[in-house]
Amino acid sequence: MPEDPTEPTLDEQIAAYQREFRDLDPQVEKVVTALGRLNRRMNVGYGRQLAALGISNAEWEVLKTLVLAGTPYRMGPGELAKRLGLTPAAMTHRIDRMAGEGLVTRDRDENNRVRVIVELTDEGRTKWLEAMRAATTFEEELLQDLSGKDRGALGEMLIRLLRRVEDAQPDAGGRLTDLD
């Protein structure tokens, strides 16, 4: 894959950083810069797949959260907003769009008429499955040069890094601002 002509190579970036900040550990910088670039490029790839399916990343996040809740794939908008790190207003806007597209329904709870329940529709589940199939193919291609042993070792190393960040910044799981 060709380098982005507007972005320096990893080695060029690290050399520039070292020129300006002599205390830089080039090994650490190479790891974190590569992770950042990989994350950015993977997000672009996922975004393109979702766009081809006619859904946004924001909609994908709601579909995924409902699926992770388990059958019957439903929860209140407040809980959805909390899990996604969104304000209630942003969540309402997102649910409105998705209900209009037939991906979710929004109904009053039969046991508590004040409470609203958001539920995944068959169309929403179909979109989620299509997105998962596309992501699986993308991810398999991404990791094709790694053996099963290498994949396992990389996964364990990344989990250790993730745990360190989560321990140091336990509130960093949500978003800093709404993305809608």
Whether the pLDDT of residue 110 is over 90: the answer is no
Q: How far apart are CA 65 and CA 163, in angstroms?
A: 21
**Average pLDDT score over residue span 157-176:** 82
For the residues 149-165, what does the mean pLDDT come to? 94
Per-residue pLDDT at 114: 78
Spatial CA neighbour of 96 closest among 67, 151, 58? 58
pLDDT single digits (tens) 68-98: 999 999 999 999 999 998 999 999 999 999 9
Q: What is the mean pLDDT of residues 54-81?
A: 95
| Digit-coded pLDDT (tens) for 14-43 | 999 999 999 999 999 999 999 999 999 999
Query: Tell me, what's the pLDDT at 72?
Result: 93
Whether pLDDT at 178 is above 50: no
57-69 and 122-142 helices, crossing angle to 10°: 100
Mean pLDDT estimate for the chain: 90
Over residues 132-148, the mean pLDDT reads 96
Cα Rg, the chain, nearest whole Å: 20
88 to each of 80, 81, 147, 167, 180, how far by Cα in Å?
9, 6, 44, 27, 12
Predicted pLDDT at 113: 73
Predicted local confidence at residue 173, as pLDDT: 67
Residue 21 CA: distances (Å) to CA of 7, 30, 148: 19, 15, 38
Band of the pLDDT at 179, cuts 50, 70, 90?
very low
